[in-house]
Amino acid sequence: MLKEMKDNEFIALDFETTGLDRQNDDIIEVGLAHFRDGLLVETYSSFVYTEKEIPLNVRNITGISNDTLEHAPKIDAILHEIAEFIGNYPLVAHNASFDMAFLMKHLPGIKNSVVDTLILARILLPQEHYFSLGKLADAFGITNKRAHSALYDAIACGELFLKLLPLADDIREEEWDILLKTEDYNPCGLGVLYKMKTDGGKIPLNLSSYYISGNSSEWQGKTNLGEIFSKDGYVGKMLRSFENRNEQLRLAKDIHDAFERGEFLITEAGTGTGKTFAYLFPAIDFALKNNERVIISTQTKSLQNQLFYKDLPFVFTYFNGIPSAQILKGRGNYLCLLKWADLLDNLPILSREEVAIIQKLTIWRFRTKSGDIEELGNINLEREGYLWQKLKCDDFFCLNQNCPFYNECYFKNARRNAKSANIVIINHSLLFSDAANGNLILGEYDRLIIDEAHNIEKTATRNIGITLTQKEFDYVFNSFAQKKSIFIKGISHFLKKNEIKLISAISSDIISRMSYVMSLAKEKYEQMDVFRSVKYNLLEDLVKRMEESVEPLNTSFNRLLEHLEKIGKRLENEEENDMAATIEGKRREIEEIQFKINSLFSPYDENYCYLLETESRTKNVKFSSLPIYVGDILGEMLFNKIKTLITTSGTIAIDGDFSYFMNRTGLARFKEQSLMQLYSSPFDYNAQLKTAICEFIKDPGDPQFYNDTTPVIKAIIQAIPKKTMILTTSYTMLNTIYNNILPFSEELGIQVFAQGISGSRTKIIENFKSSHQGLLIGTDTFWEGIDLPGKFLEVLIIPKLPFPAPNDPIIESRINKIRENGNNPFDQYMVPEMILKLKQGIGRLIRTTYDNGYLFILDSRIYRRNYGKRVLDEIPGKEYRLSSYYLLSQYLREVSNE
């Protein structure tokens, strides 16, 4: 309870309005709640008359119609009552800037202090993901009798404030210092909060360590895989859900043998095999016995986190806590403490959004052990990623040993630990980019496990090519050209005036030449109707401008490098060795940019695809040269250096054959030392999955396709009232299906969640899971990495076979290359890619031995084209061939009775 709160009274307020625009919209309901000493003592509420037509969405949400307001007073008639009620008390509102904008339109003179519970919650609950009043009220057990009624929302907001208040007692002095400073630039009531004293509470934070220490020299034991995976063995005793699976033990033994013999084991293990434990036990056993490191790489960060925070601690108990492990992500995941300090120094010139980010990070920054942004829920990287750019570690900004925070640096510490840990958990982007950069981050290693191995080609292509972004260029050169940059501020005492002048003049010359190229690139990109990226080596005038720029750019680069070298030597002689090292670091960055410009601007290599893209938010340009075929490069820079390689996936073989995967990844070259094995899933697909294929629907290329599929989808969701997902192959298809079925679904009370329309991926999945009968429409990333067991997903609809998009420049280049080599790209690339993606998509449906599911494929080409048989062979479950709409109706009648 509030004990010695100077202002121990406040008014919580909420308005319902006709819309979000304070100039043109009207208040239609006012709710005020007066709290004293933690108790609600008085309320005020009133409907407010408006002449505006109340929009449908507002009527639906609030239940207020123009009829409701027919006899309500106008706002001017109740302003004196509102002013009297709120007096001089602090005002508390959720998303206060919205309510205050409406209030101040009518009462412009009010000077009350304002507390925003939305911003407070984001500061005090850094790991929370959802901050709507409803979600926060639920999280704190606050009952809101009528959400979206102004008075009840005001009361819930006041009660939320009372719940947040005690947490503020846990804010430490160094955190208050920053938060109170930010209050001037993004006010949210922190000053009011600072004065309030309560019984105190603890900010709920669950911050994990990024490193598990151990002492491998103490390991004396023997690892008995047969005992571990038997029915009454170690895993069975520890995990109630464990099911004894022969295939899991066989896989674990094969992995053990591959480690012992120094061989490659290429595996496809069906869903449910239990591959994670099957590789963790033998990998740890080998690492301990031989005092070696095993690197484990996953495609997704979510699997990386699951392995480190959930699976490893469990497996480590078997080894008596002796092994050590480190989770390591790319630099961009970690907070850079130097950038943080720099931002705090510059509060007056930051935007309000930047200050809001500082507020959200403050408490976490002083308590996190990892510095990994993914620990936070209150930062939405999809929306706020551009602000994170200003705070994350990055190669081009880092001062290394000259950084005052070097010893505390989250990324450097993680990297140091990774060099000695028994197990290092990384992701594929880091694996391939590090291999391309000579193992600068991971160092040398001999043993590698690649999980989710079906993503090797896709992720390697993006990470081993050369990329130059405008942002990267700006980072390096703005630090020279801007007098106030941290770099210039840091080195200015050590340089002569003419030296600073000279390097900033040469930098300005380089910047203007690059802007000349980049502005044309941007113009070209905007003129073209492109599939995310365009092959810029086909744009004649751009290529001409790039080629013309190379020589003068090289002249300026060389001059700059020469001057920096001279300055570095002079500083060394003056025994300013730290500064000399900083200058040398900058020299290397500049050399790298010069190397990239020379590689990307001319001449062009036919084995690479040259792409021009723009960043979605800033529209800054990005040039890349990506290898059309990664196999040879991977073979040389990665697999050739490895003694033991284990790859696992649920989808890399086609009809039991691994050739396609081996060829695309370059592993075919290592066939002699590789064992390829299939491990079957424990699921009984014939009993658990019913697969209906609609033969009567026209080809996806036929204009009639959507006319055929829309009634089919409607019939399915009406007949089977279970959670359903539709996996589409493009945003165009997703939007068409969404618009065609939305009104119908709403009539049936089915909530529809669509990628790109209903929020972030995480939010869509969460909302879909908690919906009664949701319908999720996804494309792209929804085809894999989603785990929706049991009732969370029972029906899957695939309207079209997922062939790669032939207008994607990299796909187009691969097709051309295969054709040039005298092969058939459709049979040898498009069909296998489609089959593997289809298998991934179908894999979303049956996740446990208790699941049952209904799969509908609406692409009739399966029965009409030559490749259909190859596809049918890969589709699990009992097949129902539906040759007419009548048969579909009959089938739906049958399954709806099950």
- Among the listed ranges 204-212, 293-301, 403-411, 489-497, the one in contact with ligand SF4 (CB under 6 A) is 403-411
Does residue 415 belong to the site contacting ligand SF4 (CB under 6 A)?
Answer: no
Contact code string over 594-623 relative to ligand SF4, x by CB under 6 A: ------------------------------
Could you tell me the end-to-end alpha-carbon distance of the chain, in angstroms, rounded to an integer?
Answer: 55
- Among the listed ranges 91-99, 405-413, 426-434, 837-845, the one in contact with ligand SF4 (CB under 6 A) is 405-413
Q: Are residues 8 and 88 in contact, defined by beta-carbon separation less than 8 angstroms?
A: no
Backbone angles phi, psi at 679, to 5 degrees: -125, 120
Q: How far is the CB of 397 from ligand SF4 (least distance, A)?
A: 6
Q: How far is the CB of 411 from ligand SF4 (least distance, A)?
A: 5
Q: How far is the CB of 326 from ligand SF4 (least distance, A)?
A: 17
Order of strands across the sheet with 9-17? 39-47, 27-36, 9-17, 91-93, 114-116
Give the whole-angstrom CA distance, residue 523 versus residue 531: 16
Does residue 405 belong to the site contacting ligand SF4 (CB under 6 A)?
Answer: yes
- Among the listed ranges 235-243, 319-327, 409-417, 701-709, the one in contact with ligand SF4 (CB under 6 A) is 409-417
- The DSSP annotation for 704-769 comes to THHHHHHHHHHHHHHHS-S-EEEE-SSHHHHHHHHHHHHHHHHHTT--EEETTTSS-HHHHHHHHH
Which of 85, 411, 629, 803 is the binder for ligand SF4 (CB under 6 A)?
A: 411
428 is catalytic: no
DSSP E strands, 415-503: 423-427, 447-450, 466-469
* Cα–Cα distance list, 891 to 707, 708, 716, 729, 844 (Å): 20, 17, 10, 26, 22
Nearer to ligand SF4, 405 or 531 (CB): 405
Order of strands across the sheet with 853-857? 752-754, 775-778, 724-727, 795-798, 853-857, 689-694, 878-882
Does residue 398 belong to the site contacting ligand SF4 (CB under 6 A)?
Answer: yes
- Among the listed ranges 78-86, 334-342, 618-626, 829-837, the one in contact with ligand SF4 (CB under 6 A) is 334-342
Q: How far is the CB of 479 from ligand SF4 (least distance, A)?
A: 12
Q: How far is the CB of 564 from ligand SF4 (least distance, A)?
A: 19
Does residue 337 belong to the site contacting ligand SF4 (CB under 6 A)?
Answer: yes
Does residue 396 belong to the site contacting ligand SF4 (CB under 6 A)?
Answer: no
Which of 242, 406, 516, 826 is the binder for ligand SF4 (CB under 6 A)?
A: 406
Q: How far is the CB of 476 from ligand SF4 (least distance, A)?
A: 14
Catalytic residue among 148, 256, 428, 454: 148
Nearer to ligand SF4, 409 or 652 (CB): 409
Does residue 412 belong to the site contacting ligand SF4 (CB under 6 A)?
Answer: yes
- Among the listed ranges 211-219, 249-257, 406-414, 444-452, the one in contact with ligand SF4 (CB under 6 A) is 406-414
Residue 123, classed as helix, strand or coil, is: helix
| CA 467 centroid distance within chain | 21
Give the whole-angstrom CA distance, residue 92 versus residue 503: 53
- Residue 807: half-sphere exposure toward Cβ, Cα within 13 Å: 6
- Closest Cα to residue 52, out of 16, 103, 93, 105? 16
Pairing mode, if any, of strands 423-427 and 447-450?
A: unpaired
- Longest alpha-carbon distance in the chain: 90
Q: How far is the CB of 409 from ligand SF4 (least distance, A)?
A: 3
Considering only residues 260 through 289, tell me which ones interact with ligand SF4, judged by CB under 6 A.
none
Nearer to ligand SF4, 386 or 405 (CB): 405
Nearer to ligand SF4, 397 or 685 (CB): 397
Q: How far is the CB of 331 from ligand SF4 (least distance, A)?
A: 7
Q: How far is the CB of 103 from ligand SF4 (least distance, A)?
A: 43
Considering only residues 11 through 30, tell me which ones interact with ligand SF4, judged by CB under 6 A.
none
Q: Are residues 294 and 645 in contact, defined by beta-carbon separation less than 8 angstroms?
A: no
Those residues whose C-beta lies under 8 Å from the C-beta of residue 445, and which sit 6 or more positions away, are 293, 294, 295, 424, 439, 642
Does residue 815 belong to the site contacting ligand SF4 (CB under 6 A)?
Answer: no
Backbone angles phi, psi at 623, to 5 degrees: -105, 135
Nearer to ligand SF4, 416 or 532 (CB): 416
State the sign of the Cα–Cα–Cα–Cα dihedral 850, 851, 852, 855.
negative
Which of 167, 363, 387, 399 is the binder for ligand SF4 (CB under 6 A)?
A: 399
Does residue 788 belong to the site contacting ligand SF4 (CB under 6 A)?
Answer: no
Q: How far is the CB of 415 from ligand SF4 (least distance, A)?
A: 10
Nearer to ligand SF4, 450 or 583 (CB): 583
Does residue 388 belong to the site contacting ligand SF4 (CB under 6 A)?
Answer: no
Give the whole-angstrom CA distance, residue 164 versus residue 140: 9
Does residue 343 belong to the site contacting ligand SF4 (CB under 6 A)?
Answer: no
Q: How far is the CB of 362 from ligand SF4 (least distance, A)?
A: 17
Nearer to ligand SF4, 245 or 415 (CB): 415
Does residue 391 belong to the site contacting ligand SF4 (CB under 6 A)?
Answer: no
Nearer to ligand SF4, 196 or 414 (CB): 414
Does residue 328 belong to the site contacting ligand SF4 (CB under 6 A)?
Answer: no
Amino acid at 698: K
Nearer to ligand SF4, 112 or 437 (CB): 437
Number of residues that bind ligand SF4 (CB under 6 A): 13
Which of 75, 295, 393, 621 is the binder for ligand SF4 (CB under 6 A)?
A: 393
- Closest Cα to residue 403, out of 453, 350, 462, 341? 341
Q: How far is the CB of 398 from ligand SF4 (least distance, A)?
A: 3
Amino acid at 177: D
Does residue 225 belong to the site contacting ligand SF4 (CB under 6 A)?
Answer: no
Give the whole-angstrom CA distance, residue 740 versus residue 754: 13
Burial classification of residue 95, based on how many CB atoms lie within 10 Å of its CB (0-12 exposed, 13-18 middle, 19 or more buried) = middle
Q: Are residues 124 and 167 in contact, defined by beta-carbon separation less than 8 angstroms?
A: yes
Nearer to ligand SF4, 362 or 709 (CB): 362
Considering only residues 47 through 86, tell me which ones interact with ligand SF4, judged by CB under 6 A.
none
Q: Are residues 677 and 247 in contact, defined by beta-carbon separation less than 8 angstroms?
A: no
Residue 883, classed as helix, strand or coil, is: coil
Residue 223 tokens read as 């690892």
- Per the listing, tokens 């950069």 go with 437
Does residue 863 belong to the site contacting ligand SF4 (CB under 6 A)?
Answer: no
Residue 258 tokens read as 């591959």
Which of 48, 315, 338, 414 is the binder for ligand SF4 (CB under 6 A)?
A: 338
Backbone angles phi, psi at 127, to 5 degrees: -95, -5
Does residue 882 belong to the site contacting ligand SF4 (CB under 6 A)?
Answer: no
Amino acid at 661: F
Nearer to ligand SF4, 412 or 447 (CB): 412
* Cα–Cα distance list, 103 to 79, 89, 107, 274, 403 (Å): 9, 15, 6, 59, 48
Does residue 491 belong to the site contacting ligand SF4 (CB under 6 A)?
Answer: no
- Among the listed ranges 54-62, 330-338, 708-716, 809-817, the one in contact with ligand SF4 (CB under 6 A) is 330-338
Q: How far is the CB of 365 from ligand SF4 (least distance, A)?
A: 12
Does residue 409 belong to the site contacting ligand SF4 (CB under 6 A)?
Answer: yes
Give the whole-angstrom CA distance, residue 351 versus residue 354: 5
Nearer to ligand SF4, 401 or 781 (CB): 401
Amino acid at 1: M
Nearer to ligand SF4, 55 or 404 (CB): 404
Give the whole-angstrom CA distance, residue 301 versus residue 373: 12
Q: Are residues 876 and 685 in contact, defined by beta-carbon separation less than 8 angstroms?
A: yes
For the chain, what's the residue count? Answer: 898
Residues designated catalytic: 148
Which positions lie near ligand SF4, rule CB under 6 A?
A: 336-338, 393, 398-400, 403, 405-406, 409, 411-412
